[in-house]
Amino acid sequence: MTLPLADVRVLDFTMAWAGPFATRGLAYLGAQVIKIEGPTKWDMWRGAAKGGYPSRYPNLDPGPRPYNRAVFFNTQNHDKLSLGINLKRPGAREIILRLAKLCDVAIANFSPRALEGLGLGYRDLCQVRPDIIMVEMPAYGNDGPLAHHLGIGPNMEGMTGMAALMGYGDGTPTLTGIAYLDPIGGLHAAAAVLTALAYRRRTGKGQYIELAQREGALHWIGEFLLDYAENGRVFQPDGNHRPGYAPHDAFPCRGEDEWVAIAVSTDEQWQALCRVIQRPDLATDPRFATLPERWRNQELLDESITAWTRERDKHEIAQLLQSHGVPAAPVQMGKDIAEDPHLIERGFFAMLDHPEAGRHVYSGLGFRLKDTPGAMRTAAPCFGQHNRQILIDLLGMTEAEVQALEAAGVIADEIVDAS
C-alpha cells in the first residue's frame, strides 16, 4: 500500500517529545524521516549514556548501550533512520546540506536561531533546496520578550494558564504531571507540515513555519479566555467538580487506587444512576431533585455514590452505568490500557522488533485514513544505525569516505559519555 507521504523525505533535528511526536506522525503516514543526533549531544529521551532509572528500560535492565534501550525514546521514534553526526566538526555541515538538497521538510525544536548558529538555518537550507519547508518549534516564539526563555512541558503548561484550571480550590495550581504541551505542539507541527506540503504542490513554493508551542496550546483553554474577556470571570478550580454536572467526580472502587469517573448532566441521567445503585430515596430527595440542588449538595451526593462504588470493580461499574445511559468510564492505568480489548480489536497496538531492546508492543496514533491508514513498520533506530545507508546509498559516498568521517569523529554509532 502506498502511504500518503511516501514521496516525502524529512530532515529531523528534534529531540525529547514535541518534535519527535511530530515526525513520528509524518513517518506513520509514510515519510522517510532522517533523525540527526550528535554523539556528544543526543536526543535527551535516550537518557544518560550509562543508563538511568531502571524503570525506563525493558526488564529493568539498561544493558551495555542504555541509550538504545530507552523506553521513552523508543516510543516516539518508530520508522525513522538515525544519522549519528557531530554538527560542530568540520565537514558535518556540508553533509547536512547535501542531505537537505534531497529533503522536502526540515524540522527542529531547539531554541530560537540555534540552527542558524551552525550555518543550517532556513536561508542556508534554501540555498541548496529553494522549495524546502522548514519548521522550528520555539517555546515562546522567535521574537518578543520571552523568546529566549527556556521552555519545557511543565513550565509552558503554567504559561498557558492550564495549571490554574486544575486544583482543589485551595489556591494551589496543579500540573498534569506529564507535560501535555509536548504532544499538543507535535500535532500542530505535523498539521503545519501537511498544510505547507499541500501549498507547495499547488504553487511550487516552500516556506518557513514558526510554531510557538505556548501559543499552539492556548486554544485548549479558549472558553476560559473568552469568559474572562466577555464577562470578567476568572475560573476557580474545585477538584473534579464542574459547573453543569453533578455528580462529576472520580469515585473509589474495589482494589488499591482504583477509580471510576461518573459525569451526570441531566435529570434523566441522575434518575438512571439512582436506579442502578438502588437508591430510590436519592431520586426523590429534594436536595438532589434538580441539577442546581445537586450542585449545591454534591459533597453529600459523593458520599452516597462512593458507598456503592467502593465495593465494585471499576470496569463493571462503567459497563453497567453506560448500559443505562449514564456517562461513566474506568480510570485506566498503564496495565488497563495495554490490555484494553477495545484498543486491541481496533489494531491500535503494533508488535515491533528492536535490535537491542527486543520485541515489544507499541501504541499507535489517534488518526487513520480510510484508504491509506498509516502504519508502524519498524522500531526506533539505534544511535547511528543508518549511517552507511544514508551516506553511501543516499548520498553516494564511498566506504573509504565514510571510514575517514568516522576516524575524524564526524560520524559515530556510539554515544560519547562527556560526564
Alpha-carbon span 1 to 371, nearest angstrom: 9
Q: Which residues contact 183 (CB under 8 A, 6 or more apart)?
A: 17, 18, 21
Determine the 3-state secondary structure of 220 from DSSP. Answer: helix
Catalytic residue among 12, 43, 104, 182: 182
User: 259-263 and 248-252 as β-strands: parallel, antiparallel, unpaired?
Assistant: antiparallel
Burial 110-121 (b: 16+ CB within 10 A, else e): bbbeebeebebb
Q: Locate cell 509524518: which residue?
A: 26
Cβ pair 267, 282 in contact under 8 A:
no
Q: Which residues contact 102 (CB under 8 A, 6 or more apart)?
A: 9, 129, 394, 395
Q: Which residues contact 153 (CB under 8 A, 6 or more apart)?
A: 17, 18, 178, 179, 180, 181, 182
* 301: nearest Cα among 224, 366, 241: 241
Alpha-carbon span 189 to 168, nearest angstrom: 33
Determine the 3-state secondary structure of 229 from DSSP. Answer: helix
Cβ pair 100, 92 in contact under 8 A:
no
Phi then psi dihedrals of residue 92, to 5 deg? -70, -40
| DSSP codes, 158-201 | HHHT-GGG-S-SSS-----SS-THHHHHHHHHHHHHHHHHHHHH
Distances (CA, A) of 221 to 83, 174, 229, 407: 39, 15, 13, 52
Establish whether 285 is a catalytic residue: no
* Residue 271 host element (H or E): helix 267-276
Cβ pair 106, 124 in contact under 8 A:
no
Q: Locate cell 480489536: which residue?
A: 345
List, by residue number, the catalytic residues. 182
